[in-house]
Structure 1
């Protein structure tokens, strides 16, 4: 799986991928991407802007991957998740090479969730709502 011609980072590289993406995107714009649950609303806004601006899936692939890395890192920092490399069956099912494992063992696919928001739009695909209704968070990590 690749983001254009680039190799997709493994689980051990996803934190650096997320922080690098945030540094690049916030260098040009004053966006409150602070790894808070509230910042996921900004991600919803950014994905919707790409879609409404006429970007296609391929043209937006690297940005969508960066946003997915960011969403996953919010899950790591706020919900007690850890980045994991998907096995072959999980890669086939999720269509992504990496995801997160929640404290209760559930596996989630934040990169795929961002792609769904881009493809489908609508409030039911909200990344902030995804977090707030997420099963398997560590106790005391609601916000």
Structure 2
């Protein structure tokens, strides 16, 4: 994957297929257990840490970071009841991404940016902690409703 993959990142409607193709490519070569579970987000953190250690220039790993961010977002969609959304111009400016995830409570999250932040800032950023801190997860809503 190349650093120019950012230019071809799909919109919200095709994020699921983009993520699926990314996971297939990544797991064929590396046998990573990316099974869309919440627990697998810890593995995303570890993979990003490895990229940081091995290739500190972000432009060399941008495509992988975006794929891992898409995977993180898809876990949120599947496990927490979020939906992929295209960011409006103000959100694009704020998040430096074109897509994100809207939760059932209406809040918008930026999993792609969170993965980039992990790469740039290190262990103080975590996609696993992002998931655990999400407000409006489907599980919480179900608990409140019944």
Q: Residues 64-121 of structure 1: CA distance to partner in whole angstroms, max 9, x if unpaired?
A: 0000000000000000000000000000010000000000000000000000000001
C-alpha separation in 1, matches of 2:16 and 2:32 = 19
TM-fit CA distance, 1:140: 5.2
Match of 1:4 in 2: 4
> Are 1:134 and 2:127 an aligned pair?
no
- Deviant stretches of 4+, over 2 Å: none
**Number of aligned pairs?**
138
Coordinate RMSD, CA, aligned: 1.4
- Higher-helix-fraction structure: 2
Uncovered stretches (5+) of structure 1, i.e. residues with no partner: none
2:81 aligned residue = 80
Indicate the SS of the match to 2:84: strand
Equivalent-residue separation in structure 2 for 1:77 and 1:96 (angstroms): 21
- Which secondary structure does the structure 2 equivalent of 1:125 belong to? coil
TM-score by length of 2: 0.90
1:133 Cα offset (Å): 1.4
How far apart are the structure 2 equivalents of 1:70 and 1:8? 13
